[in-house]
Amino acid sequence: MWPWGLPWVDLCPLPTLSPPCSAWAMEQIRTCVCYARTNVKLAASYAGLSDYKDGPTHHAILDIALMRALPEMTGIVPADAKEIAAWVSVIAETDGPVYLRLSRSATLPVHYGPVTPRIGRGEVLRTGNDVTIITCGAMAGSSLQAAGRLASKGIDARVLHLPTVKPLDRDLILQAAEETAGLVCAEEHSILGGLGSAVA
């Protein structure tokens, strides 16, 4: 049973689902949540390849594409536990449907100070002038590590974390495109419909 009717009685449900299962729920999410613009928040654990041990049937590499395609849906992909905690408060105060993508596996921490997320805004995790790595979610920590390795080879890589995959921080992306020689996207998703497709 899905809690889509709860917003009509001033309750804001936060059901959890597994992204591999989100495909079979898409019709209900599209019709009862997005078309009706109900105030439902979907928290999806086991995202990306974080459930790799259970094989390809549990690789959630299409969920961002599916959720980005839905009208009225906001898509959030936090990088670490500290950012997840900050986003839960933000999305609870946000009117309308929100998809919160979570990893099953532990992620590398990227936030050490206060986190103040805003929908539609990305953040610069590392400055750089040669190339930009654009990432979201669990790949943010790995992207910072990659930038460190590139630095040891004389390549100054900027790392942008875009926790809001819908809507995107277009201004931050365009600024990076103007200021560096190229953009590279790192994500746990199919190349079709995910962050890379959105950036392109």
Q: Do the beta carbons of residue 73 and residue 35 sit within 8 Å?
A: no
- pTM of the entire predicted model: 0.86
Give the pLDDT of residue 122: 98
Under DSSP, the state recorded for 78 is -
- CATH code of the domain containing 26: 3.40.50.970
DSSP 125: E
User: How many residues make up the chain in this entry?
Assistant: 200
Structural domain of 47 = 6-101
Whether residue 14 is found in the same domain as residue 96:
yes
Give domain status of residue 116, yes or no.
no
For the four alpha carbons of 164, 19, 46 and 143, in that order, the dihedral sign comes to negative
Of 40, 66, 101, the one marking the end of a domain is 101
| pLDDT (0 to 100) of residue 29 | 87
Residues 139 and 187 in one domain: yes
- Residue 6, SS3? helix
Residue 166 has a pLDDT of: 97
Do residues 7 and 43 lie in contact, with contact meaning Cβ atoms separated by under 8 Å?
Answer: no
Is residue 113, in this structure, part of any structural domain at all? no
- Do 78 and 128 fall into the same domain? no
Where the chain has pLDDT below 50, the residues are 1, 20
Q: Does 154 lie in the same domain as 80?
A: no
- Tell me: the pLDDT tens digits for 135-154? 999 999 999 999 999 999 99
97/127 same-domain check: no
CATH number at residue 160: 3.40.50.920
Task: Specify if 111 maps to a domain.
Answer: no
Q: Which of 39, 71, 101 is the last residue of a domain?
A: 101
Q: pLDDT of 73-108, one tens digit each?
A: 999 999 999 999 999 999 999 999 999 988 766 778
Residue 118 lies in a domain: no
What pLDDT sits at residue 1? Answer: 46
For residue 1, tell me if it sits in a domain: no
* pLDDT for 20: 46
Asked if 16 and 94 sit in the same domain, the reply is yes
Q: What's the number of domains the chain is made of? A: 2
Distance CA 165, CA 11 (A): 26
Shared domain check, 51 and 19: yes
